[in-house]
Structure 1
Amino acid sequence: MAVRAEREADIQTMSFEQALAELEEIVGKLEAGKGTLEDAIRAYERGDALRRHCAAKLAEAQAKVSRIVETAGTATGTEPLDAET
């Protein structure tokens, strides 16, 4: 269990692009069908964690974009994302 938490913790430090690249790599390996069943299960679990991380990063970016403040039709900045509300 501690190993899984450690692996997911390293995902949290990844950028969207890093996580997506690793996810694409995992998908390619799984599609190739090489390796053991146990390896495939571990890869699938990691891929799922990466997918969730990418979805969260996209949701965060969407929330930031939706908070752009416009004054007279010109973007003047952004408001901080309040993820608690």
Structure 2
Amino acid sequence: MILIDPPHTEGYGRLWSHLASDSDYEELHLFAERLAIPARGFDRDHYDIPAEWYDAVVAAGAEPVSSRELVARLREAGLRRRRGAT
């Protein structure tokens, strides 16, 4: 399933959400490609999504979840990649 958390992360003068899959990276990349989300937005295990795109991404089928739930589901699926991990 494709997941998105609320836009709470600050950076570059705006707020960001995180888009992830609790199934596999292929599902995530295909969803992002379908919405023309730039590949440069992929960061280890998620895409960074600007707050102004949040509603459109949810309308396209992403499930809104809390940031805590998003990370927990990535961990449960074995898909969480921490910074510096190989």
Fold match by TM threshold 0.5 = no
Q: TM-score range by the shorter chain?
A: under 0.3
Answer 1 or 2: which has greater helix percent: 1
Which has the higher Rg, Structure 1 or Structure 2?
Answer: 1
TM-score in terms of structure 2 length: 0.24
Q: Which has the higher contact order (CA 8 A, sep 6+)?
A: 2
